[in-house]
């Protein structure tokens, strides 16, 4: 009896996609392993990184002229927000610490945790 | 059945009906997909013990009545977010560890800010990791700590362990950790020193942008993104498939920038000079020779890892100084080794059985 999936159009389609993916990846990997590829990609990448920087500087001047916030200013705002978030996290951590300490003796957070006495399971699956 | 063609003619009407239903479902679910956000990731309850620039230290709240004596510190790769190890309930490595009675800390990274472009390898190996170890020791009340490093987190853990080889690291577990960078052939070619001017790149952009990191990963399998989108459309009627696709896709594209100076060192010392493999690596003037590590070590590698090929990871166990050492090769790829159905079945139980007896 023939394999049912060999005549299933959906299975054939899925198989074809899988094979195409493998084939293309393998072909591209071979091409990308050549020194020529590295040379071209790095030339293009280098030029584009330099151009991006120049464009960024130009845009910065333009935005200042238009009285609009620049990317650097927005990043600065984001950093301030991150810093506020960081401080909130610290306050949260301190509160948690205080909460743990209030239930534990000597201010040791470990004291309020489960005991560290666990043993690995024996062969039967239960802890030793 | 048409024996000659091997075609079951009677099943054709059922098949057509099923395909029509799926086509309808695809249209409905396709709209839902666009309109809704993905599942909430990284939601295992945790406390943030410390946030310092790019460094974040979490402590996950224990869930077992009794926990192992030795806590775990997970060191995440600097290119990606730690929630790959804490996807959703039932598919979270962290949740698995907590339920098995481990006390878990994680050193996770946020995007370095522009002024953090000067962070060097020394900051990661001699400052961030030791600081997190100290905080885990203080918080847990224990001296010993097990370190788990994923991918480049494994490299950082190896560097840390080889410098601080007299403790307090008790066990080391590495997932897909490269040691011989010559064997990362495509990355080697992308970073060919004849054509890749790392100094010009870092000096012009500061931190290496996440788009660049992401494209270098995606270039390793250039057809896979398009193929995965075709597969998503085919399976969009299947809620479980879509949930899994969204989780992994979100994580994979949530790449972090790399601090410029740190990237410069990775390129020059590891990619170009292969110093870790050649026993010539030093960090902040301190020799980092992995043969000095003598603690028990487990190295888990993936059979189909396209990011860290086996030949790049293989020398770890050969070169390490430990006598209690094991390499385990499991089915799967670079990510499916640690997360998803494959990991639940293979890596997680293996890790638990190896680590449990070394955590008392």
Q: Is B324 on the interface with A (CB under 8 A)?
A: no
pLDDT the model gives residue B6: 52
Residue of B nearest to A9 (CA): B15
Domain spans in chain B, listed from the N-terminal domain onward: 46-190+275-356
Strand pairing category for B286-287 and B46-52:
unpaired
pLDDT the model gives residue B160: 97
User: Nearest Cα to B101, choosing from B134, B70, B132?
Assistant: B70
pLDDT the model gives residue B1: 44
Q: For B14-40, what is each residue's pLDDT tens digit?
A: 777 777 777 777 777 766 666 666 677
Residue A64 DSSP label: H
In whole angstroms, give the CA distance from residue B202 to residue A75. Answer: 19
Shortest Cα distance, chain A CAs vs residue B316, angstroms:
25
Q: Which residues of A touch B353 (CB under 8 A)?
A: 120
In whole angstroms, give the CA distance from residue B174 to residue B155. Answer: 8
What average pLDDT does the segment B95-118 reach?
94
Q: Is the pLDDT of residue B138 over 50?
A: yes
Q: Is the pLDDT of residue B4 over 80?
A: no
What average pLDDT does the segment B104-122 reach?
93
Cβ A25–B103 below 8 Å, yes or no?
no
Tell me which H or E stretch contains A74.
Answer: helix A71-103
CATH of domain B46-190+275-356: 3.40.50.1820
pLDDT the model gives residue A1: 43
Higher pLDDT, A68 or B2: A68
Contact B221, A25 (CB under 8 A): yes
Q: Which residues of A touch B223 (CB under 8 A)?
A: 20-21, 24-25, 28
Q: Which residues of A touch B204 (CB under 8 A)?
A: 49-50, 53
Q: Domain limits at A59?
A: 38-67
pLDDT the model gives residue B318: 94
Cβ B6–A21 below 8 Å, yes or no?
no
Q: Which residues of B touch A37 (CB under 8 A)?
A: 189
Q: Is the pLDDT of residue B84 over 70?
A: yes
What average pLDDT does the segment B270-280 reach?
95
pLDDT the model gives residue A110: 62
Cβ B49–A93 below 8 Å, yes or no?
yes
Average pLDDT, chain B: 89
Least confident of A58-72, B128-142, B179-193: A58-72
Q: What are phi and psi of B138, to 5 degrees?
A: -65, -45
Q: Is residue A50 part of a domain?
A: yes
Q: State how far the alpha carbon of B144 is from the alpha carbons of B55, B69, B83, B292, in Å.
A: 22, 9, 25, 18
For B107, the token pair is: 């050193």
Q: Is the pLDDT of residue A2 over 50?
A: no
Higher pLDDT, B163 or A51: B163
Cβ B68–A118 below 8 Å, yes or no?
yes
Cβ B48–A110 below 8 Å, yes or no?
no
Name the domain boundary from A22, A52, A67.
Answer: A67
pLDDT the model gives residue A109: 62
Band the pLDDT of B232: cuts 50, 70, 90: confident
Residue percentage of chain A with pLDDT more than 70: 70
pLDDT the model gives residue B136: 96
Q: Is the pLDDT of residue B354 over 80?
A: yes
CA dihedral B263, B265, B269, B270 (to 10 degrees): -30
Band the pLDDT of B245: cuts 50, 70, 90: confident
Q: Which residues of A touch B194 (CB under 8 A)?
A: 35, 38-39
Sequence-ordered list of residues with C-beta below 8 angstroms from that of B228, at least 6 positions apart, any chain = B245, B249
- Helix ranges (H only) for chain B are 12-35, 93-99, 121-122, 129-140, 152-163, 185-190, 198-205, 210-218, 224-234, 239-253, 260-265, 310-313, 315-319, 341-345, 347-356
In whole angstroms, give the CA distance from residue B116 to residue A109. Answer: 32
Of A10, A96, A114, the CB nearest to B62: A114
Angle, vertex CA B331, rays to CA B329 and CA B337, nearest 5: 85
Cβ B197–A50 below 8 Å, yes or no?
no
Cis peptide before B168 (omega within 30 of 0): yes
In whole angstroms, give the CA distance from residue B27 to residue B108. Answer: 39
What ipTM did this prediction achieve? 0.73
For B161, the token pair is: 């362990």
Q: What are phi and psi of B259, to 5 degrees?
A: -60, 135
Query: Is residue A59 located within the same domain as residue A73?
Result: no
Sequence-ordered list of residues with C-beta below 8 angstroms from that of B31, at least 6 positions apart, any chain = none
Q: Is B20 on the interface with A (CB under 8 A)?
A: no
Shortest Cα distance, chain B CAs vs residue A69, angstroms:
17
Cα-only R_g, chain A: 30
Residue percentage of chain B with pLDDT more than 70: 94
Of A18, A39, A53, the CB nearest to B195: A39
Query: If you average pLDDT over each of A6-20, B30-44, B199-213, B322-336, which comes out highest?
Result: B322-336
Q: Is residue A117 part of a domain?
A: no
Q: For A77-101, what is each residue's pLDDT tens digit?
A: 877 787 787 678 777 777 877 776 6
Residue of B nearest to A48 (CA): B201
pLDDT the model gives residue B258: 93
What average pLDDT does the segment B260-282 reach?
95
In whole angstroms, give the CA distance from residue B213 to residue B253. Answer: 10
Query: Is residue A74 located within the same domain as residue A52?
Result: no
Higher pLDDT, B106 or B10: B106
Q: Is residue A77 part of a domain?
A: yes
Q: Is A34 on the interface with B (CB under 8 A)?
A: yes
pLDDT the model gives residue B285: 93
Query: Is residue A62 located within the same domain as residue A85?
Result: no
In whole angstroms, give the CA distance from residue B146 to residue B168. Answer: 9
Q: Is residue A79 part of a domain?
A: yes
Query: Is residue A60 located within the same domain as residue A76?
Result: no
- Report CA torsion sign: A81, A84, A90, A94: negative
Contact B117, B258 (CB under 8 A): no
Q: Is residue A49 part of a domain?
A: yes
Residue of A nearest to B192 (CA): A38
Counted domains in chain A: 2
Q: Which residues of B touch A101 (CB under 8 A)?
A: none
**Contact map slice: A 48-67 vs B, CB within 8 A:** 49-50, 52-53
Shortest Cα distance, chain B CAs vs residue A84, angstroms:
12
């Amino acid at each position: 009896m023939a394999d049912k999936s060999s005549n299933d159009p959906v299975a054939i389609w899925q198989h074809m996609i899988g094979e195409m993916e493998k084939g293309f990846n393998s072909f591209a990997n071979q091409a990308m392993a050549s020194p020529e590829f590295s040379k071209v990609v790095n030339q293009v990448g280098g030029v584009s990184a330099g151009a991006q920087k120049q464009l960024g500087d130009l845009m910065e001047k333009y935005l200042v002229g238009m009285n609009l916030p620049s990317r650097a200013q927005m990043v600065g705002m984001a950093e301030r927000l991150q810093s506020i978030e960081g401080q909130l996290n610290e306050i949260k951590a301190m509160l948690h610490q205080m909460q743990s300490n209030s239930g534990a003796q000597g201010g040791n957070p470990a004291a309020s945790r489960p005991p560290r006495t666990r043993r690995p399971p024996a062969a039967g699956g239960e802890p030793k | 059945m048409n024996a000659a063609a091997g075609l079951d003619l009677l099943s054709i009407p059922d098949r057509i009906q099923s395909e029509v239903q799926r086509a309808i479902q695809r249209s409905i679910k396709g709209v839902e997909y666009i309109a809704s956000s993905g599942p909430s990731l990284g939601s295992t309850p945790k406390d943030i013990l410390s946030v310092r620039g790019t460094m974040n230290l979490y402590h996950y709240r224990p869930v077992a009545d009794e926990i192992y004596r030795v806590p775990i510190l997970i060191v995440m790769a600097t290119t990606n977010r730690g929630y790959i190890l804490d996807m959703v309930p039932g598919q979270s490595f962290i949740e698995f560890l907590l339920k098995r009675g481990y006390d878990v800390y994680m050193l996770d990274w946020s995007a370095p800010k522009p002024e953090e472009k000067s962070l060097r390898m020394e900051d990661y190996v001699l400052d961030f990791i030791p600081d997190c170890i100290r905080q885990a020791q203080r918080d847990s009340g224990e001296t010993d700590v097990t370190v788990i490093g994923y991918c480049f987190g494994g490299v950082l853990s190896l560097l840390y362990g080889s410098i601080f080889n007299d403790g307090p690291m008790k066990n080391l577990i590495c997932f897909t950790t490269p040691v011989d960078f010559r064997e990362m052939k495509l990355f080697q070619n992308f970073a060919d020193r004849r054509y890749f001017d790392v100094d010009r790149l870092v000096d012009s952009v500061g931190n290496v942008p996440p788009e660049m990191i992401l494209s270098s990963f995606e270039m390793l399998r250039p057809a896979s993104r398009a193929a995965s989108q075709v597969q998503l459309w085919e399976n969009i009627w299947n809620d479980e498939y879509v949930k899994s696709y969204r989780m992994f896709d979100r994580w994979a594209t949530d790449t972090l920038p790399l601090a410029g100076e740190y990237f410069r060192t990775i390129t020059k010392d590891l990619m170009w000079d292969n110093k870790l493999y050649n026993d010539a690596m030093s960090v902040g003037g301190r020799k980092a020779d992995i043969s000095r590590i003598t603690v028990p070590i487990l190295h888990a590698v993936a059979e189909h890892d396209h990011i860290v090929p086996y030949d790049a990871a293989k020398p770890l166990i050969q070169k390490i100084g430990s006598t209690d050492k094991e390499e385990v090769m499991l089915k799967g790829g670079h990510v499916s080794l640690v997360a998803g159905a494959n990991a639940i079945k293979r890596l997680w139980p293996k890790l638990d059985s190896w680590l449990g007896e070394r955590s008392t």
